[in-house]
Structure 1
């Protein structure tokens, strides 16, 4: 038996064994060792097929066909279902997870072929029929193109973690040596972290008992911050209400305007508190407020007489002592700022605000106005006040908040991209949420702004714990 024939048979047996083990979910077929050996063979199938047929002859065509079938199955698995880990996730999440092995395979393939094809043409081009060389080249390019379209489109269309810049960079450079490899590997790593975070949440959810740990004595009123509405298009709380309800919480929303003044929004929050109490028959509510929603709620409690109807106020990332970035941003040249305010007011008037006032709303974040507000708005003695905040680990944690993050960080203050830790402290300060990963937890992450799972922080678990502790305290 020729040595080349023995190699062919060993390859068939090994690949068949791994394929069977994959089918019974003992060993994954789509893994680095298998792809490292199989991808070069697949990309150069016309050339290798010609060589094997020439060296081994017709007697070996049956084993060659078997190997081709096994490699074809592997190629289809890589293209259609690269992830078969047994974890129950949504189909779109599974499709997204498959982008990583496809992008890694593409980077490996382009590096490999950039070496193999020139060497073959220069060293053995005279010995190989031109038709075989051209066919192999076309096949290789089309195979890489398929990997490119499959992997890039999965990542660009389905990832919540990739920024717009990263998506454009990925699509535009994936075929450029070095830059393309950096883009492909970078996107693959980002998508893998996103997929693993989804796996972690699925496992957490599966182990989460069904109980009434969030069935507080008083109903929960969620009060959003500026720029949001309690409607589907501008929903400020993501998946949080749904998970709290699963554990017995009675959830209501503040329904104040997105860009109303503190006074106007405070009136709306006060009216909503009274309405929820009347609707449920409860004498009080627990208010959980994000960002400036905490200021609106404090105004409703202390200035508008809602103190007797509020058992507790929990603020999340609320700028109780102002926003240092706002001190700078609101000093823009007046015509520019007024034009920006007019545009925002128009957009949110269309969205449903009756009195949007971007200018006054943002001015209220200035530290001098925050000090004045705090002097005029003392805490109500019957209300339990507590606060939480979060911090970004770098400007890359949330590119949309990169500028304010850097401005506040330059002043020596940890922040969530808008609010510093010290500014968020009010009443009983319960702590700072940090991610165990490199991303950090931004201002928007603390209300599930992106409806996104990421490694090192589970916003759903944190809210379940916060509300569960309110119940334990008798609220």
Structure 2
């Protein structure tokens, strides 16, 4: 049987990753003081591009989901953080996540999980919903690149104009990807790294192509809502999303640099600095106009944000309660 080069690469990368899959998912624990966030199924978080679980040491480290997961654990949630390639295609990241979801289900004995993905994590969880719909109770996309990011398109356009830059730039970003892996105390070669594949997946065209194969929860109009409940292979999955539309939300926060990238998207309007509001729409919209930028959506950097905006920690806790009340 003949298979394409991409499929062969996907299988090979998946097999290499699966050999070390047991080291990639991490349960976050804390002494529970309430059952407010105690969902029926585990809540599994998936980071975006250039993401991680935790970099640094226990004493001087930085969590991607800053303060969010411990808070959920204190409120009764069975919560897990997953780790996929910082830079790679949605399909490769999706295969990595699928292995971890299967592992979490085996460890916990849970029949399903609730998946929450930020940024590139949004399409990544959609991949798992299609390939293992029997293991997915719900999908929540946060500031997700469901319809791509014009910033990625600009990068690819520059590459096309000056192809001589492709090799050095991709090499540098691949080194960054390996460095992020190393900073988590892992072998940098425990993941495949491909920054060009990441850029293609996050482009508007690449995202549209992915949506044709993985349409669950995607809006059918330019900026509408997708299906709140949808079925794959007879398995019903609930779909949610929320996002921000802020850029400079705290002058003391280094993520104010997202103001520059926001100008590349509709002249700086209606986006979180990297992702347009309409691109983040998926399933039932919880809210699409938080005064957060792309990093505020995961309570970064170090919780700095607009003091008048909702606290992301509270929003995630409330969403866990929403899943609980839905019987998920």
TM-score under structure 1 normalisation? 0.52
Would you say 1:314 and 2:170 are equivalent positions? Answer: no
Match of 2:193 in 1: 356
Does the C-alpha gap of structure 1 residues 467 and 396 become closer, same or farther in structure 2, counting only changes over 3 Å?
Answer: closer
C-alpha separation between the residues in 2 aligned to 1:337 and 1:420? 26
In the superposition, relative to structure 1, how do residues 319 and 283 fare at CA in structure 2: closer, same or farther (>3 Å)? same
How far the C-alpha of 1:331 sits from its partner, in A, is: 1.2
Structure-2 separation of matches of 1:241 and 1:232:
15
Q: How many residues align?
A: 259
Match of 1:383 among 222, 231, 237: 237
Change over 3 Å in CA distance of 1:377–1:243 after alignment to 2? same
Higher relative CO (Cα under 8 Å, sequence separation at least 6) belongs to 2
Give runs of ≥4 in structure 1 deviating > 4 Å.
393-397
Which residue in 2 is equivalent to 1:456?
308
Within 2, Cα distance between the matches of 1:347 and 1:393? Answer: 24
Mark the CA change 1:461 to 1:433 in structure 2 (over 3 Å): closer, same or farther: farther
Q: Which residue of 1 aligns with 2:9?
A: none
User: What are the within-5 Å matches in structure 2 for residues 4-403 of structure 1?
Assistant: 210-233=33-56, 235-302=63-130, 305-332=131-158, 333-350=162-179, 351=182, 352=188, 354-379=191-216, 381=231, 382-392=236-246, 394=248, 398-403=255-260
Residue 210 of structure 1 deviates from its aligned partner by 4.1
SS of 1:330 mapped into structure 2? helix
Q: Offset of 1:453 from its aligned partner?
A: 4.1
TM-score (norm 2): 0.74
Could you tell me how far apart the structure 2 residues matched to 1:400 and 1:335 are? 27
Structure (1 or 2) with the greater helix fraction: 1
Unaligned segments of structure 1, at least 5 residues: 1-208, 435-439
CA distance in 2, matches of 1:362, 1:389: 21
Q: How far 1:469 sits from its partner (Å)?
A: 0.8
Q: Is the 8 A contact 1:386 1:430 kept in 2?
A: yes
Structure having the higher Rg: 1
Is the CA contact (8 Å cut-off) linking 1:391 and 1:441 kept in structure 2? yes
What residue number does 1:420 align with?
A: 276
Alpha-carbon deviation of 1:334? Answer: 2.3
Structure 2 residue ranges without an equivalent (≥5): 1-31, 57-61, 183-187, 217-229
State the partner residue of 1:28: none
